[in-house]
Chains A and B, each alone.
Chain A
């Protein structure tokens, strides 16, 4: 993988290759595998991601704690019947970002992109682009490669861990990856892809990780919605030719720096932020871990399997 966005851009310039190709070539070289094998495995990841979105949109199965369940389905029904002002693209993105996160929160199967707590964003944007922009599965795989290239740079320069860098490192990174993929799939230049990363991440800086009850539920699910919407807007800013004055690599660096300076209570410890509010604490106390909650999980899992 790459140490900077600039390095990926430089490689694309010097080889006159699209970004997805640059990332694919690097993967082939580093892993010693073939292009066919990489593409085949990415196709498998797409299938798992698609299944999670589809199940999440129709299922009312509760999460481990019972705090979540059926929200994606209710939103999607409302959106289709009441006429959302978001338009079909952003509307579907909002519904789908919730769908994967609900499956994740009931211990269903998802693909971490780059983490499970931020797994709603990339699939929401890819599958909506497929439907609304008429993209093929081959396009989606190319989108995954661009997203992976961006994610690799973030891991090398900062972090994708909420415990290390807060929510900005998780949903911020996922949104930057998804925005980059969308820009590339819509024919954006490599420079515009890099601008998408900068525009996305600048809006996510400082976001803390404050999960109620230490669950990956509240506010993780709705933070995926915010990140996904940010990703779409940032992609369009870049496609319109706007430039963010601070380069993507520097925005990534400062995200890492802010993460290092965040107090421990804002880094996935459930000791601060929304987790520490009066209601957050009450909800945490109401989750019964060893008794019914555990059985609920098994029951939820059984329902989850029936959904397939």
Chain B
């Protein structure tokens, strides 16, 4: 068989990515229902803000947002600042408060700054980096708005990930002891939550292990609390799915 052309190779890479991240739905193409003006720079930016809020686990008191590529030059015109604020506050893409979300954020005591960022030549041309703080909690996230309101999260707290926001996601940081993955997946099974994707990784043997679980069913507050209650769990976070 002939070698694939670069174009065919690029296409098959895109398709692999689409399969891994969970495939497009009719409602991604005909949607989202949203406040304008830009699906990528408003609705997509809002969804990245929602996911970053999930990584922190609460409304941030301070948020520094790095704008890469097209975001850096058009964020004001596209309402990206208001969209990011709305996402960090937990609003949905069609929330009528989005146009006034900077006021809402100020009212909630959120300190929000935007700055240009260079995330490197491989980053998607519309990408955001979040650095969030609330009390002693810190979180970072990098993600891209890939068009039509669809997003991809590529980094959480410095670790590379591949998240589409199409699934409720559980992120667990645990001590690297035997049986942790089994215990968490068992708990999910008990609650009837089916796992779509599971990634387990660690930096060094015996240090900290991270689990990233994307689920077909909603992950409830109660389930999150039960995961958090394991003595070897250092931190558990739930990212609600952002697609509708």
| Interface residue ranges, A against B (CB under 8 Å) | 1, 3, 23, 27, 30-32, 38, 41-42, 44-45, 48, 64-65, 103-117, 119, 144-145, 147-148, 151-152, 155-157, 159-164, 169, 177, 211, 213-217, 253, 257, 264, 267-271, 287, 289, 294, 297-298, 300-301, 305
Report if B30 contacts A (CB, 8 A): yes
19 contacts across the A-B interface (CB closer than 8 A): A1-B26, A42-B26, A45-B30, A64-B79, A107-B36, A110-B34, A112-B43, A113-B29, A116-B43, A152-B29, A159-B147, A162-B147, A163-B147, A211-B74, A214-B75, A214-B76, A215-B37, A217-B37, A253-B11
Contact between chains at B25 and A162 (CB < 8 Å)? no
Contact between chains at B33 and A164 (CB < 8 Å)? no
Contact between chains at B38 and A117 (CB < 8 Å)? yes
Chief secondary structure at chain B's binding surface: mixed
Complex Cα gap A301–B34 (Å): 14
Complex Cα gap A147–B39 (Å): 17
Report if B183 contacts A (CB, 8 A): no
Choose among B11, B28, B125 the residue that contacts A264 (Cβ–Cβ < 8 A). B125
Complex Cα gap A155–B147 (Å): 9
Having A45-B30, A164-B146, one finds 9 other A-B pairs with CB under 8 Å, namely A112-B31, A114-B39, A116-B38, A155-B18, A155-B28, A160-B147, A213-B77, A269-B74, A305-B96
| Contact of A1 with B147 at beta-carbon distance under 8 Å, contacts A164-B124, A214-B78 already known | no
In whole Å, how far is B207's beta carbon from the nearest beta carbon of chain A? 38
- Nearest CB to that of B124 among chain A residues? A164
Complex Cα gap A148–B94 (Å): 20
Query: How many A-B pairs with Cβ below 8 Å?
Result: 198
In whole Å, how far is A57's beta carbon from the nearest beta carbon of chain B? 16
In whole Å, how far is A176's beta carbon from the nearest beta carbon of chain B? 12
Contact between chains at B78 and A112 (CB < 8 Å)? no
Choose among A113, A115, A289, A305 the residue that contacts B76 (Cβ–Cβ < 8 A). A289
Contact between chains at B70 and A269 (CB < 8 Å)? yes
| Contact of A112 with B148 at beta-carbon distance under 8 Å, contacts A64-B79, A107-B35 already known | yes
Report if B23 contacts A (CB, 8 A): yes
Contact between chains at A115 and B148 (CB < 8 Å)? yes
Residues in chain A near residue B39, CB distance under 8 A: 112, 114-117, 119
Contact between chains at A214 and B74 (CB < 8 Å)? yes
Complex Cα gap A301–B126 (Å): 26
In whole Å, how far is B41's beta carbon from the nearest beta carbon of chain A? 8
Complex Cα gap A193–B110 (Å): 50
Contact between chains at A271 and B30 (CB < 8 Å)? no
Choose among B30, B38, B126 the residue that contacts A42 (Cβ–Cβ < 8 A). B30
Residues in chain A near residue B38, CB distance under 8 A: 115-117, 216
In whole Å, how far is B111's beta carbon from the nearest beta carbon of chain A? 16
Residues in chain B near residue A162, CB distance under 8 A: 40, 70, 147
Choose among B24, B33, B100 the residue that contacts A298 (Cβ–Cβ < 8 A). B100
Contact between chains at B148 and A270 (CB < 8 Å)? no
User: B167-193 vs A: 1/0 string, CB under 8 Å?
Assistant: 000000000000000000000000000
Residues in chain A near residue B7, CB distance under 8 A: 253, 257
- Nearest CB to that of B36 among chain A residues? A104
| Contact of A148 with B99 at beta-carbon distance under 8 Å, contacts A109-B34, A114-B148, A269-B69 already known | no
In whole Å, how far is A23's beta carbon from the nearest beta carbon of chain B? 7
Contact between chains at A147 and B29 (CB < 8 Å)? yes
Complex Cα gap A231–B118 (Å): 38
In whole Å, how far is A50's beta carbon from the nearest beta carbon of chain B? 12
Choose among B14, B30, B126 the residue that contacts A148 (Cβ–Cβ < 8 A). B30
| Contact of A31 with B24 at beta-carbon distance under 8 Å, contacts A45-B30, A113-B30 already known | no
Residues in chain A near residue B94, CB distance under 8 A: 109
User: B136-162 vs A: 1/0 string, CB under 8 Å?
Assistant: 000000000111111000000000000
